[in-house]
Amino acid sequence: MGTLEDRSTRDSIFPTTGNSAAMAATATGITKRYGEGNTEVLALDHIDVGFIASKLTAIMGPSGSGKSTLLHCVAGLDELTEGEVRIGQTSISGLSDQALTLLRRERLGFIFQSFNLVPTLTAEENILLPLLLGGEKPDREWEQRVISSLGLDDRLHHHPDELSGGQQQRVAVARALVSKPEIIFADEPTGNLDSSAGAEVLGFLRRAVDDFDQTVVMVTHDPAAASYADTVIFLRDGRLVDTLENPTTELVLDRIRALEG
């Protein structure tokens, strides 16, 4: 392992084994600027990054590093100032709102830190929401499998306010899985959970990657959460400054300290 400076060249960001066909999503030269003049903030500074298919990638960095912004931009939730993002072969940079919305519905899944569920719908309705929005019939067998794996069988007709935090996040995971998306984007999915509930959710995400070849991209500030990932990428001041393959909690902690040092 070299020093930080050694690893800060752009080429090392792309995994050595990868070719673009194995990328679930790629971002090329993406930049995000807020405000103007004196108040201008450069949230993302010309980042090139790829997210490998069927892997769990974690995005980490100190607050203000742009990690959430990166996730949002790649997921089509936010607009780039410069650069291009591709989901699979599809460039999302020029898409209309309608097209982007459909893309998110049909090809992506989302798990947010809190407020993942629509309060007026039951757990089952929340799980099926992307499909219902599209008027599609769910794959009942797959749905049942996901629900059972997540232990939600007896919670299906409850409303979110009748579920614990952990259960709500599991419903969110189920929702993300049931529509069989190309990528699941998770923004601090365990941020509001206690350690055991959090570990449960991360375990499910890990199993989804291992057993079902799901691609997951996760923003987290928690080194323990990051340890579940295959790859961890580190941001600081809007730039990609480090990556780590096959992380453990200690390794991640080391890298973070190095970043902040």
Partner 1 sequence: MRAMVLLSLRNIRKNKIRFGLTTFAVLLGVSFVVASFVLSDGLRSSLNTMIGTGFENVDVQVRAESDLDEIAFTDRQIDESVADILVDIDGVAAVNPNTDSMSVTPLNGNGEPLGSMMSPVVAVSWDGSEIGALRLVDGRVPGPGEFVLDQATAERENMVIGQSYDVVGSRGPEPFELVGINRFGEEGTLGDFGMASFQLAELQRLDESEGLVRYIDVAGEPGVGAEVLASRIDAALPSGVEAVAQEALVSELEDELSGIISIFGNVLLAFALVAVFVSTFIIGNTFNILLGQRVRQLSLLRALGASSRQIRFGALFEALVIGLVASIVGLAGGVGLALGLRWIMDLMGLSLPTIDIIINARTIILALVVGIGVTLVASLSPARRAASISPMAGMRAGFRFGSGEGTKRTIIAIVLAVIGAAGIAYGLFGGSDNTALLFSVLGLGAVCAFVAVSMFSPLFSSPSASFLGLPLEHLPGNKITGHMARKNAAKNNKRTASTAAGLMIGLALIAMASVVATSLKSSFRAEMESTVVSDYFVTASNQSSFSGRVGEQVAALPEVESVYSVRYGNARIGGEQHGVTAAEIELLDELLDVGLVSGDPTASPDATDLLLQSDVAEELGVAVGDTVPVDFAAGGTVTMTVSGIYENSFLVGDYMIDLSAWESYFTDQNDATLSIKLADGVTLEEAGEALQPLAAAFPQLEFETNAEFQERVEGQLDTLLIIINVFLGLAIVIALLGITNTMALSVLERTREIGLMRAIGMTRRQTRSLVRLEAGVVSVFGALLGVAVGIIFGWFAVLAIPGEMIDRLTIPYLSLAIYVVIAAVAGLVAASFPARRASRLNILDSINEM
169 within 8 A of 111, measured Cβ to Cβ = yes
Q: Strand 183-187 relative to strand 231-236: parallel, antiparallel, unpaired?
A: unpaired
Q: Which is nearer to partner 1, 53 or 132 (CB)?
A: 132
Task: Tell the smallest beta-carbon distance from residue 182 to partner 1 (Å).
Answer: 13
Distance CA 194, CA 213 (A): 27
> Could you say whether residue 134 binds partner 1 (CB under 8 A)?
yes
CB 6, min distance to partner 1, A: 35
Q: Which of 48, 82, 106, 237 binds partner 1 (CB under 8 A)?
A: 106
- Alpha-carbon Rg for the chain, nearest whole angstrom, is 18
Smallest gap, in angstroms, from Cβ of residue 66 to partner 1? 14
Query: Which residues 6+ apart lie within 8 Å of 219 measured at CB?
Result: 58, 59, 60, 67, 68, 70, 71, 186, 187, 188
Binding segment for partner 1 (CB under 8 A), chosen from 7-15, 57-65, 87-95, 120-128, is 120-128
Rounded to an integer, what distance in angstroms lies between the CA atom of residue 200 and that of residue 67? 23
Stretch that binds partner 1, among 106-114, 148-156, 196-204, 206-214 (CB under 8 A): 106-114
94 touching partner 1, by CB under 8 A: no
Which of 50, 130, 198, 247 binds partner 1 (CB under 8 A)? It is 130
What residues from 163 to 202 belong to the interface with partner 1 (CB under 8 A)?
Answer: 175
Closest approach of Cβ 258 to partner 1, in Å? Answer: 30
Distance, C-alpha 244 to centroid of its chain: 17
| Binders of partner 1 in range 59-88 (CB under 8 A) | 72, 77-78
Answer yes or no whether residue 93 interacts with partner 1 by CB under 8 A.
Answer: no
Tell me the C-alpha distance between 78 and 71, whole Å. Answer: 9
Residue number, 33 or 199, with CB nearest to partner 1? 33
Q: Tokens for 94?
A: 């020029």
Beta-ladder partners of 107: none
Q: Per CB under 8 A, does 95 bind partner 1?
A: no
224: nearest Cα among 190, 181, 259, 260? 190
State the residues that interact with partner 1 by CB under 8 A: 72, 77-78, 97-98, 101-102, 104-106, 110, 112, 115-121, 125, 129-130, 132-135, 175
